[in-house]
Amino acid sequence: MDASHISAKVDAPPSLAAFARMEEARDASAIFPVQLDRSGLIVGGDEETGPDIGTAVARAMDIIEAAVANPRERQEARSFISSIGNAASGLVSQVPRDLFYPATGQSVETQPVMLAGGLQGSFEVAIAASADPQTGLLRHSERRVTTRIGDSSRETREAWRIVPVG
């Protein structure tokens, strides 16, 4: 199966503008073409789709080095970025194997994260999918990843649809 990335829009505060631009410029088309097995699952779907999270962590570390003068604050920021990167890589680096013939309904998975200075955080991945009742083929699938750090939260949304071309 072949497909292409259409667009990405990131709403982020000015302090994260560099990361927002990086994510908006990222082309997710590299995962295509894909091979499906007899039941419509993506073959090799358990493999990571790329180094994007690692790249973002490395860029964040570079920004911290340049922007944070206090060594203690710099180390805390490095620990924080590292914790976020490690937790995120396991939850958001994969395309669902059942993307084209999804398990319909909703599911939520939450993973707590312990951060520097005793700060607590979590990642929550919520997936909702619908399929054509006659064919089982994807109609709409959405994955929302919510990152919570203390009282702050950020949400990332990925949506997939299959639509007729032409």
| Tens-digit pLDDT profile for residues 28-65 | 676 677 788 887 888 874 444 444 666 666 777 777 77
In this predicted structure, the answer to whether residue 127 has a pLDDT above a threshold of 80 is: yes
In this predicted structure, the answer to whether residue 89 has a pLDDT above a threshold of 70 is: no
* Predicted pLDDT of residue 53: 62
> Which among 6-10, 62-66, 102-106, 161-165 has the top mean pLDDT?
102-106
In this predicted structure, the answer to whether residue 162 has a pLDDT above a threshold of 80 is: yes
CA distance 22 to 166: 31
Overall average pLDDT of the 142-148 stretch: 87
In this predicted structure, the answer to whether residue 143 has a pLDDT above a threshold of 70 is: yes
* Predicted pLDDT of residue 39: 79
Q: Is the CB of residue 76 less than 8 Å from the CB of residue 115?
A: no
Alpha helices in the chain (DSSP H): 17-25, 52-67, 71-92
Q: Is the CB of residue 111 less than 8 Å from the CB of residue 91?
A: yes
User: Residue ranges of the domains in the chain?
Assistant: 14-161
Q: Give the Å distances, CA to CA, from 129 to 112, 139, 153.
A: 24, 8, 24
* Predicted pLDDT of residue 141: 93
Q: What is the pTM of this model?
A: 0.58
* Predicted pLDDT of residue 158: 84
pLDDT tens profile 1-37: 566 667 777 776 776 677 677 777 777 676 677 788 8
Strand order of the β-sheet with 138-149 is 105-114, 120-131, 138-149, 152-161
* Predicted pLDDT of residue 130: 95
> To the nearest whole number, what is the mean pLDDT of the chain?
76
